[in-house]
Amino acid sequence: MKTEIHPNYTDTHVKCSCGNTFTTRSTRGGDLLIELCNECHPYFTGKQKLVDTGGRVERFNKRYGSRKTKK
């Protein structure tokens, strides 16, 4: 096997826009600035926005729901 062909795997300090910081390991090295992390992402915080599809369903049923199919 060849030696010295893989990049160095070093500690990387990650800082989120919310202020959360943590350390991980990466070949990139240095500091990494990110916009979202597990502390501020809506999926993890439970502050998800649900898309209201009720209006679309009601409109579809109003247009096509009352039609009977002929057999």
- This prediction has a pTM of 0.53
Per-residue pLDDT of 14-51, as tens digits, reads 999 889 999 999 998 789 998 888 788 777 677 766 66
Q: How far apart are alpha carbons 55 and 57 in whole angstroms?
A: 6
Give the pLDDT score at 68: 65
Q: How far apart are alpha carbons 18 and 34 in whole angstroms?
A: 9
The residue that leads in pLDDT, 40 or 67, is: 40
Taking Cα atoms as reference points, which of 25, 35, 27 lies closest to residue 8? 27
Phi, psi of 61 (to 5 degrees): -65, -35
10-65 has which fold? Rhinovirus 14, subunit 4 (4.10.80)
Give the pLDDT score at 71: 59
Give the pLDDT score at 65: 79
Phi, psi of 11 (to 5 degrees): -70, 135
